[in-house]
Amino acid sequence: MVNFVKQAVNDNRVQVSKQTISLMEPSAITATSHPMFQKVEAAVYKTVPNVIVSPYLMIGATDSRYFRPFSDAVLNFAPMKDAKGFHGIDERIAVNDLKSMIFFYRLLMTEK
């Protein structure tokens, strides 16, 4: 990859090197028995019927990394059924997903 970039830049004044330090360490894991996981799970069941809630590996970086020093339960989740167009050209989400997300986050913030 370094050689490819060097050839593409084609300028000896530009130094290209491989990054050797990871800027993004793996996130901490929140147990499914944690009260916050269970709160999200309950809100999911009320938002999307007949679904199985399970942890999964989220690829990519989120702003959640800035909250991890303050909480042992930071969950990366968005109640979206159709992610087509999400973080892409003409970034968008479906109106139905927006409505579901509003309902979900309202539940999450107001229910005990």
Q: CATH code at 83?
A: 1.10.150.900
Q: Is residue 16 part of a domain?
A: no
Q: What is the average pLDDT across 35-55?
A: 89
Residue 83 confidence class, pLDDT cut points 50, 70, 90: confident
Q: What is the average pLDDT across 85-91?
A: 75
Q: State which residues form the domain around 41.
A: 21-110
Q: Is residue 59 part of a domain?
A: yes
Total domains, the chain = 1
Please choose, from the candidates 18, 27, 19, 21, the residue with its C-alpha nearest in 3D space to the C-alpha of residue 61.
27
Q: How far apart (Å, rounded) are the C-alpha atoms in residues 68 and 63? A: 10
Q: Is residue 103 part of a domain?
A: yes
Angle, CA of 105, 109 and 111, to the nearest 5°:
110
pLDDT surpassing 90 at residue 61: no
Please choose, from the candidates 70, 91, 71, the residue with its C-alpha nearest in 3D space to the C-alpha of residue 80.
91
Q: Is residue 4 part of a domain?
A: no
Residue 10 confidence class, pLDDT cut points 50, 70, 90: very high
Kindly tell me the sign of the dihedral angle through the C-alpha atoms of 68, 70, 75, 77.
negative
Q: Is residue 1 part of a domain?
A: no
Q: Is the pTM of this model over 0.75?
A: no
What pLDDT, on the 0 to 100 scale, is given for residue 21? Answer: 59
Q: Is residue 101 part of a domain?
A: yes
Q: Is residue 5 part of a domain?
A: no
Q: What is the average pLDDT across 52-73?
A: 80
Q: Is residue 7 part of a domain?
A: no
